[in-house]
């Protein structure tokens, strides 16, 4: 696969070979040994700061809920135990699987919609396409509160099953703008007009061109939107709290119920937070460079 | 972009030319349908969905906000902007303006903090150094985590206990003898929202870093060389050559983060839950819905939408123009 994501990602993870750069101009751009040392000290300091919450999560999750006193709260567990993990899993297990049932269809459906729209808006442009595109994009920036009150009535009146089916529908609809944006930029930068012209000359209509010429070269775009939509649906809390509950909703609802009690069991909450973050973290580690491609696309133009 | 092959149907000025012109126009309209029709057809499911679920529902919310539906049994009578004026003038203990103030403080700290950290990290990493990939990946990883999950740990870190009962970050300050740094964090009645911005800064600084890093790398090496040739020092190189090039990046970052800030909901629900000290309009909507005051909840939502639109609409129009020019 080539490095043809939406917008050129800044060579994201170590797996990506850095672009060969010209030799640095001498003088100002070279750092002195002291400057280099300061740079590394700062980088390491921030590394520790960024990782600190992760350290707390992991360490606390292996403590016994009753053993978290004020003393030694930053230390390693005196006795390592998975009792809190078991407790968290009991609370989150059902919603963990439900969230897969939510996030996977959302990722696939909204990607297909986005690919179709992006193709038309990038390479089959009708008069007024720019205005339509801008109107589509606006949908991704709105605060969803501004549609939420009637939305509850609408999904009820069109007889969507409460819980996951409703959330799938809603995430697909409100995921259209970002997926359209990602695919439009992708097609505009990587699919030459000539391919489409040639296909037209051969007498292929739009649908044939899209299905037989465009879709096969769309995999990088799909990877970006699938990751993006999977992560958004997995991490969503706003739609979930308005449209579902602990019995039929995704993992964020269950986690907040576990962690939000007046005197929460921190060990179990943190084990729960780790369980809830695991799928998206795995995606980030394995497919990091495309994850960043999605992030960059969020800024409309980079 | 592909130029439209259908000629534009200009109105024929002369009488005798009318008939053929009309015929031609009809053909061209037909041709246009054949040419653009399939594309519009492919686009139409999404357009219909967005027309209904974005624009239609916004219109519905606006209508609701102008109605007198203040409880589950009220009829939808037209009440005008009364609900809006009440929010600003007659809300109990000025709850709404209080939530706007909270949002303002949060946004300010969040934007400044995220921008500062993000640009600093990008500057530190800008010149290829060994280990860059690892630093970058770790700085960015909080983006993959949900606010609900990170809220769990930040709630623990920002434990309000001090002194002998210090917990979380306060315990570290206490242990290091930096007792003056111990504070009640999100429970501080004045500065609670500033503390609330910390998890958000932690989560999004890496994103800003990635955008700025891409910006730095996009600057042609020749430009730097030319500046160096002209004898510009490092400071002047950045001040006069590099930063001006990054104005569009900075603008994008500010707008993306600014509109995220306006919508902040998950983080607050997770760290403190609904409460006076950290209430913002997005949470206020939720709290109001629980009391079935639909008109008021809708009115707050509309104000929230306007706040976001003021930032986003000019940005979208600007982007549209820039693109058309290029």
Contact B317 A28 (CB under 8 A): no
Domain contains B70: no
Please report the pLDDT score of residue B283 as a whole number: 95
Please report the pLDDT score of residue A98 as a whole number: 95
Contact with chain A for residue B61, Cβ under 8 A:
yes
Q: Are residues B101 and B47 in the same domain?
A: no
Round to whole Å and give the CA distance between B150 and B157. 11
Round to whole Å and give the CA distance between B109 and B159. 20
The CATH number of the domain holding residue B172 is 1.10.3720.10
**In chain B, what residues touch A296 (CB-CB under 8 Å)?**
210-211, 214
* CB within 8 Å of chain A, chain B residues 134-153: 134-153
Count Cβ neighbours within 10 Å for each residue of A122-160 and write b for 16 or more, e otherwise.
bbbbbeebeebbebbbbbbbbbbbbbbbbbeebbeeeeb
Are A255 and A273 in contact by the 8 Å Cβ rule? The answer is yes
Nearest residue to A5 via CA among A228, A226, A292, A227:
A292
CA distance A15 to chain B (A): 8
Q: Are residues B308 and B195 in the same domain?
A: yes
Mind listing the pLDDT tens digit for each residue in A29-42? 456 788 888 899 99
Domain contains B87: no
**Closest Cβ–Cβ partner in B143, B232, B269 for A256:** B269
Q: Are residues B129 and B206 in the same domain?
A: yes
Separation in Å, CA A268 to CA A80, A161, A241, B15: 13, 31, 21, 85
Query: Domain A83-297 carries which CATH code?
Result: 1.10.3720.10
Domain contains B72: no
CA closest to B272 among chain A residues: A260
Q: Are residues B133 and B248 in the same domain?
A: yes
Mind listing the pLDDT tens digit for each residue in A58-84? 998 888 766 666 556 788 887 888 888
Domain contains B294: yes
Count: domains in chain B:
2
Please report the pLDDT score of residue A27 as a whole number: 41
Please report the pLDDT score of residue A132 as a whole number: 92
CA closest to B211 among chain A residues: A296
Are B298 and B61 in contact by the 8 Å Cβ rule? The answer is yes
Tokens of B208: 């800003």
Contact B302 A146 (CB under 8 A): yes
Q: Helices B294-325 and B247-262 sit at what angle, rounded to 10 degrees?
A: 170
Instruction: Give the mean pLDDT of chain A.
Output: 82
Round to whole Å and give the CA distance between B114 and B204. 6
CA distance B193 to chain A (A): 19
* Residue ranges per structural domain of chain A: 83-297
Q: Are residues B35 and B158 in the same domain?
A: no
Residue A302 banded pLDDT, cuts 50, 70, 90? very low
**Closest Cβ–Cβ partner in A196, A236, A266 for B156:** A266
Q: Are residues B38 and B149 in the same domain?
A: no
Q: Are residues B110 and B29 in the same domain?
A: no
Nearest residue to B65 via CA among B318, B303, B314:
B303
**In chain B, what residues touch A195 (CB-CB under 8 Å)?**
none
Number of C-beta neighbours around residue A70 at 10 A: 12
Mind listing the pLDDT tens digit for each residue in B68-107? 888 888 777 888 888 999 999 988 889 999 999 999 999 9
Q: Which of B149, B150, B202, B230 to mutate to test the interface with A (most CBs of A within 10 A)?
A: B149
CA closest to B34 among chain A residues: A205
Specify which residues B67 forms β-bridges with. Answer: B78
**In chain B, what residues touch A124 (CB-CB under 8 Å)?**
2, 36, 38-39
Q: Are residues B264 and B206 in the same domain?
A: yes
**In chain B, what residues touch A103 (CB-CB under 8 Å)?**
none
Domain contains B37: yes
CA distance B316 to chain A (A): 7
CA distance A173 to chain B (A): 7
Contact A145 B317 (CB under 8 A): no
Please report the pLDDT score of residue B182 as a whole number: 83
Show the domain range for B39: 23-55
Which range scores top for mean pLDDT: A13-22, A138-147, A287-296? A138-147
Q: Are residues B137 and B214 in the same domain?
A: yes
Are A25 and B125 in contact by the 8 Å Cβ rule? The answer is no
Between B324 and A95, the higher pLDDT residue: A95
Q: Which of A68, A145, A233, A280 to mutate to test the interface with B (most CBs of B within 10 A)?
A: A145
Which range scores top for mean pLDDT: A246-255, A289-298, B20-29, B236-245? A246-255
φ, ψ at B211 (rounded to 5°): -65, -45
Between A44 and B10, the higher pLDDT residue: A44
**In chain A, what residues touch B144 (CB-CB under 8 Å)?**
231, 277, 280-281, 283-284, 291
Q: Are residues B107 and B39 in the same domain?
A: no
Residue A293 banded pLDDT, cuts 50, 70, 90? low
Q: How many contacts (CB atoms, under 8 Å) link A and B?
A: 307
Are A131 and A196 in contact by the 8 Å Cβ rule? The answer is no
**Closest Cβ–Cβ partner in B60, B214, B269 for A237:** B269
Q: Which 3-state string (H, E, C) describes chain B?
A: CCCCCCCCCCCCCCCCCHHHHHHHHHHHHHHHHHHHHHHHHHHHHHHHHHHHHHHHHHHHHHHHHCECCCCCCCCCCECCCHHHHHHHHCCHHHHHHHHHHHHHHHHHHHHHHHHHHHHHHHHHHHCCCCCHHHHHHHHHHHHHCCHHHHHHHHHHHCCCCCHHHCCHHHHHHHHCCCHHHCCCHHHCCCCHHHHHHHHHHHHHHHHHHHHHHHHHHCCCHHHHHHHHHCCCCHHHHHHHHHHHHCHHHHHHHHHHHHHHHHCCCHHHHHHCCCCCCCCCHHHHHHHHHHCCCHHHHHHHHHHHHHHHHHHHHHHHHHHHHHHHHC
CA distance B150 to chain A (A): 7
Residue A151 banded pLDDT, cuts 50, 70, 90? very high
- Please compute the mean of the pLDDT values over residues A194-217 and round it to a whole number: 81
Number of C-beta neighbours around residue A44 at 10 A: 12
**Closest Cβ–Cβ partner in A40, A260, A292 for B210:** A292
Residue A210 banded pLDDT, cuts 50, 70, 90? confident
Q: Say whether pLDDT at A269 is over 70.
A: yes
Of A120-124, A132-136, A181-185, A200-204, which range is least confident? A200-204
Contact A25 B228 (CB under 8 A): yes
Q: Which of B6, B55, B64, B156 to mutate to test the interface with A (most CBs of A within 10 A)?
A: B156
Are A186 and A2 in contact by the 8 Å Cβ rule? The answer is no
Contact B1 A125 (CB under 8 A): yes
Residue A226 banded pLDDT, cuts 50, 70, 90? very high
**CB proximity list for B142: less than 8 A, separation 6 or greater:** A50, A53, B150, B202, B203, B204, B206
Domain contains B61: no
**In chain B, what residues touch A56 (CB-CB under 8 Å)?**
153, 156-157
Please report the pLDDT score of residue A5 as a whole number: 32
Tokens of B267: 């983080």
Q: Say whether pLDDT at A24 is over 60.
A: no
Tokens of A45: 């300091």
Which regions in chain B score pLDDT beneath 70?
Answer: 1-34, 326
**Closest Cβ–Cβ partner in A10, A173, A207 for B214:** A10
Q: Are residues B220 and B308 in the same domain?
A: yes
Q: Are residues B49 and B114 in the same domain?
A: no
CA closest to B132 among chain A residues: A14
Domain contains B268: yes
Contact with chain A for residue B4, Cβ under 8 A:
yes
Tokens of B184: 């009640």
Q: Which of A72, A143, A150 to mutate to test the interface with B (most CBs of B within 10 A)?
A: A143
Are A13 and A288 in contact by the 8 Å Cβ rule? The answer is yes
């Amino acid at each position: 696969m080539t490095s043809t994501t939406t917008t050129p990602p800044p060579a994201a993870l170590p797996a990506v070979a850095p672009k060969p750069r010209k030799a640095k101009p001498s003088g100002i751009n070279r750092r002195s040994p002291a400057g280099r040392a300061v740079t590394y000290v700062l980088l390491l300091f921030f590394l520790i700061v960024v990782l600190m919450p992760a350290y707390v999560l992991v360490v606390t999750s292996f403590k016994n809920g009753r053993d978290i006193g004020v003393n030694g709260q930053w230390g390693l567990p005196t006795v390592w135990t998975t009792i809190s993990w078991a407790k968290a899993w009991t609370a989150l297990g059902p919603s963990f699987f439900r969230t897969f049932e939510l996030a996977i269809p959302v990722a696939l459906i909204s990607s297909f919609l986005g690919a179709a729209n992006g193709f038309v808006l990038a390479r089959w442009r009708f008069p007024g396409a720019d205005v339509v595109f801008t109107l589509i994009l606006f949908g991704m920036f709105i605060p969803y509160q501004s549609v939420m009150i009637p939305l509850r009535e609408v999904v009820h009146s069109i007889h969507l099953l409460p819980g996951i089916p409703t959330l799938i529908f809603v995430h697909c609809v409100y995921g259209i703008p970002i997926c359209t944006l990602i695919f439009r930029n992708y097609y505009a930068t990587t699919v030459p007009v000539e391919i489409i012209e040639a296909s037209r000359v051969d007498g292929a209509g739009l649908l044939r061109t899209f299905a037989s010429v465009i879709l096969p070269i769309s995999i990088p775009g799909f990877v970006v939107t699938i990751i993006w939509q999977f992560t958004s649906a997995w991490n969503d809390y706003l739609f979930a709290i308005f449209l579902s509950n602990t019995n039929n909703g995704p993992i964020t609802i269950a986690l907040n119920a576990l962690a939000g009690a007046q005197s929460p069991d921190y060990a179990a909450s943190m084990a729960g937070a780790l369980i809830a973050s695991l799928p998206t973290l795995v995606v980030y580690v394995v497919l990091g460079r495309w994850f960043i491609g999605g992030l960059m696309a969020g800024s409309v133009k980079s | 972009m592909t130029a439209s092959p259908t000629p534009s149907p200009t109105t024929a000025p002369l009488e005798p030319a009318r008939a053929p012109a009309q015929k031609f126009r009809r053909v061209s309209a037909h041709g246009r349908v054949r040419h653009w029709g399939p594309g519009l057809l492919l686009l139409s499911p999404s357009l219909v969905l967005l027309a209904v679920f974005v624009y239609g529902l916004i219109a519905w919310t606006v209508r609701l906000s102008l109605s007198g539906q203040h409880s589950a049994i009220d009829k939808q009578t037209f009440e005008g902007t009364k609900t809006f004026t009440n929010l600003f003038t007659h809300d109990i203990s000025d709850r709404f303006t209080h939530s706007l103030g909270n949002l303002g403080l949060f946004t300010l700290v969040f934007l400044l903090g995220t921008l500062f950290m993000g640009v600093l990290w990008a500057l530190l990493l800008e010149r290829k150094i060994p280990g860059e990939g690892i630093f970058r990946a770790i700085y960015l990883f909080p983006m993959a985590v949900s606010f609900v999950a990170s809220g769990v740990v930040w709630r623990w870190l920002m434990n309000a206990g001090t002194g002998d009962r210090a917990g979380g970050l306060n315990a570290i300050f206490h242990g290091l003898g930096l007792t003056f740094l111990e504070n009640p964090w999100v429970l501080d009645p004045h500065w609670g929202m500033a503390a609330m911005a910390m998890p958000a800064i932690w989560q999004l600084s890496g994103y800003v870093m990635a955008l700025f890093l891409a910006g730095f790398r996009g600057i042609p090496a020749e430009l730097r060389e030319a500046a160096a040739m002209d004898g510009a020092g490092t400071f002047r190189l950045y001040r006069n050559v590099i930063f001006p090039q990054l104005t569009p990046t900075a603008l994008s970052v500010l707008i993306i983060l600014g509109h995220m800030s306006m919508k902040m909901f998950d983080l607050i629900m997770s760290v403190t839950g609904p409460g006076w000290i950290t209430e913002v309009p997005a949470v206020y909507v939720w709290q109001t819905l629980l009391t079935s005051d639909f008109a008021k909840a809708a009115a707050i939502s509309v104000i929230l939408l306007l706040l976001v639109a003021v930032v986003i609409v000019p940005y979208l129009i600007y982007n549209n123009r820039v693109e058309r020019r290029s």
